[in-house]
Chains A and B, each alone.
Chain A
Amino acid sequence: MITSVLVANRGEIARRVFRTCRDLGISTVAVYSDADADSPHVHEADVAVRLPGSAPGETYLRTDLIIDAARRAGADAVHPGYGFLSENAAFARAVIDAGLSWIGPPPESIDSMGSKIRAKQLMSEAGVPVLAELHPDAVTAADLPVLIKASAGGGGRGMRVVRQLADLPREIESAQAEASSAFGDPTVFCEPYLATGHHIEVQVMADAHGTVWAVGERECSIQRRHQKVVEEAPSPLVERIGGMREALFDAARGAAQVIGYTGAGTVEFLADGAGKFFFLEMNTRLQVEHPVTECTTGLDLVALQFDIADGGTLPADPPATRGHSIEVRLYAEDPAADWQPQSGVLHRIAVPGVTAEFAVSASPAGLRLDSGVADGSQIGIHYDPMLAKVISWAPTRTQAALALAGALARSTLHGLTTNRDLLVNVLRHKAFLAGETDTSFFDQHGLDVLAAPLADDAAERLATLAATLSIDAAERAAAKVLGGIPSGWRNVVSQPQWRDLDGPSGARHVRYQLTRAGLEADGFADIDLIAHTPTAVVLTVSGVRHSFDIARYGSTVFVDSSTASVRFEVPDRFTDPADQVAPGSLLAPMPGSVIRVAVSVGDVVTAGQPILWLEAMKMQHQINSPADGTVAELPVSHGQQVDVGAILAVVIPTLAP
């Protein structure tokens, strides 16, 4: 019997497993890297063991350290979560060899599915439809476009779409490098690339006594860079096409049976609009998006994992599903800037209306939050920048989508750029609400539309004014002298007060006066100021009252309203000549390490030509020349760690003839 579980993972999945442990009366053991020393999962566990270092290779990927931690903390079982060592058969064996219970499938099953190349062969033999596999060397122009995948991969890492044969060698090389770094195995393969399709997956649960459930399907077609962003159950496609669910469930159960699977797993398929589907891979672990299945079935999948690991028996059939559930992954990333991951302090995270955390709410509808972070969490460069999963569950799909969109729009997310506005736009999009989701969703509807800020120009302008007035109030309140005198008071008035703010659409200059008669602000007609404090501003515009909550962290200001959140930076009022940056400087968009430098000082470069590559958050970012010109400075070198804003290179533009 399991009495104490070590979760060999971090963040929200560690907390998710702990939550079930607490329900079942099982003790919890966390492991943590130095970067995670203050993370919620560490505080929440009964005991925690440090894994020195911060890089995954030194910490969460170290089998020896984790087994040792389990032994020292007295754990009798290990749950791997997802990612890291969750699909590492050697780790599973090591756990079992150490006399601990392994919360997962037999190592042999992991082996079978661990190599995507082998898995496809097995499935093909078992009669499950698969896409043709192409050897990288054998790809011809006729095969294009092709998708390069890491054989040992997952989560989209190492994946590349190649549309031109000339690009293939370079992309393969780069995919191999990423695969090697992420999974320790550089093997890649190619598949025909289906530009549009539906990502449908089936949650399976199998006990050691021959019962295999297909618990329900999920659709995760809305992806960015081959990573899922919106996941739901049931699948709108499967709902539309008669008989598809049964065929999918049969294939999924068949896949599990053929490899003697036990525990929780997911069989992933790619389907076309007509319902024809192909096996992609099987994930031999709990999936990130498992909550939508829990919400629609009422099951606690982690509890079932424990039960099966303890030798328990599943009932003959899974429960019937109910309603519709949608999960979004809230990432610290900037969709409008090529999805760049963000790092820094998450000052505040608050999602309104949450009815349950890491669990299914008791009510017939609700909002679930699975979050690995807390107010003040440091989002680092070492791990995935996912902040939280927000899951809604409602009787209908439309209700689930709109409730989730509303909660996200009203959420307080201070500190980092997130994909929140994108998620809200997707959930409220006509096509999404009509169930027209496929893997080309972002391409088809355009990131310019989908990543557009929730605050339109008018809303941003009003938020600028609200930010200005709150800063004004804060400065009056903090003034060392004359703080009680009205803001900007002059006995001889010569000009309005002014303030500069850098908003999402650029620099904003606000001119305003707080007169005896009230607020006067340039460009705002029929506006009244009802109240302004350092944290709240109430304005009426043409008689309509708008309330804003304002939070300041250093020079960053967040203005939240019921419809949108707008972030501003307050630039220094003065420029110190010593801080000036030479024109043509390329600045590091994020902290990371320089993994390749393609040019030397003095080289003539063309606009768009790669200068160097940065690796950050396990992604490689290419830094291109902003203009035709000459490389004048190159202060960084291969292997160097750089901070955000560091000058990477200076390109002196060539003057037009």
Chain B
Amino acid sequence: MSVQGVVKPVVRSAVFSMAHLPGMVLSGSKPRREIVVEGEDLQRQIVASLRTFADAVAYPPHQVMIGNLSPEALEAMERPWHSKPMENASPEGPGGRFIDEATLYAWLAAGDSARLLRFSETLPQTLEDALAAHGNGIKPQRIDSTGMAEAIARGAEPFYMGDTGPVAVMMPAHDLDESLTAPVLLENAVAKVTGAIALSDLLKKTNGLPVDHLLGCGEEAVGDRYQRGGGNLAKAMGEMIPGLACGGTDVKSFCAGAVHAMILGAGLIASGMHRRVVVVGGGSLPKLGMKFRGHLQAGYPILEDMVVGVAIDMVADDGVSPVLRLDRSAFHRLGQGSAAHQMAEALSAGPLYGNNQRLSDVDRYAVELHNPDITEPAGSGNVPHNNYQILAAIAAKNGEIERAQMPEFVSAHGLPGFSPTQGHIASAVPYLPHAIAGLTSGTMQRVQFVAKASLFLGRMTGAGDGASLLIERNPALTR
């Protein structure tokens, strides 16, 4: 048996849930910390710079996320992209859909298994309608304005809709447990429902082959004081989908979680243990408004107002979908070094050169696909471009191209960044809907997905991590 296993795993579909949540930006880690220091003036500045739902839908990079616009078309557009809203932009596409605040809040109510949410007695009609439509028959618990103010004073976390007061609060689940404070619970609940929405949408668009297992790939930590990151949010997401009867496990490796999970899921299929594995990930609430300072300074709207979930469908070979090449996958190993060029050698060049392929043989590389409109005003640079420069340099060093051809290599094999800065969501996988289309109905032959992880942020190691996976056109399509 080869390393590829007895069954060929393929990837059929990837779906993103794009929740536009300006009413939760104040719960982002950076705004929360800065407002404590600077007070209400700063809060007013942030609120005044938030986008509308229509703005978020018309934002060209978001249209790439849901598959309505190609990365190549985005690349050709002048930046900043928020100044080039797309006319007649649809909130739905082949790669996902937008979720407005009211719908997301209703999903929060439907998923509130511990009954910790309290909604205001007077809500906008759109939210009342959403609660009736998506609240899963659960009658939300209500609270009057005095009770809400008292709850917030005792640590409840408010969230908003428009410029009125809070529409609801998440209550703390314990007086003294730091793992069950209201901000932590709201973060986890938002991750749970954004992942569950993506999973629900994925299951609606794919056939009824039973799901055997869910692999969670998020960065949240679910647990109480005795098991702060106990996890298995994958099962909590799956529980929200009627009729789903599968197992679940969380895979953790910071931003590289999704690619790690894809490799492990493909391994479960290749071994014959499972026929269908879905990778699910919820979005990151703390990253809302992470770079608001840079955006305010540049006169931009607050571009970090999106929480994004993902679901990725992997099955045994169906004769059509792109093949997950486990024999050309890689996990970053201890001792390989964490500098950018060492990562690229280990994750991109290694699996290719080790199998008599060249970097130039890959049509496109999906790397850290963070939107440069978001990162550059805050001084974080153009992250994908930096990654492609390293790949081009390795190709030049190994004699595949001349040094002068590096810009051409970047243009031919790279992509513009188009993902919201949502950590594990932005790491390679946003290109999946485009890659699956290009490798089935298009002319592409192979795409490499490369994800990196900042393990050092947790202060337990100075090391980084990463994983890569090559996805190829199904050979049955060319026979």
Q: Do A and B come from one complex?
A: no
The chain B residues found within 8 Å of chain A, CB to CB, are none
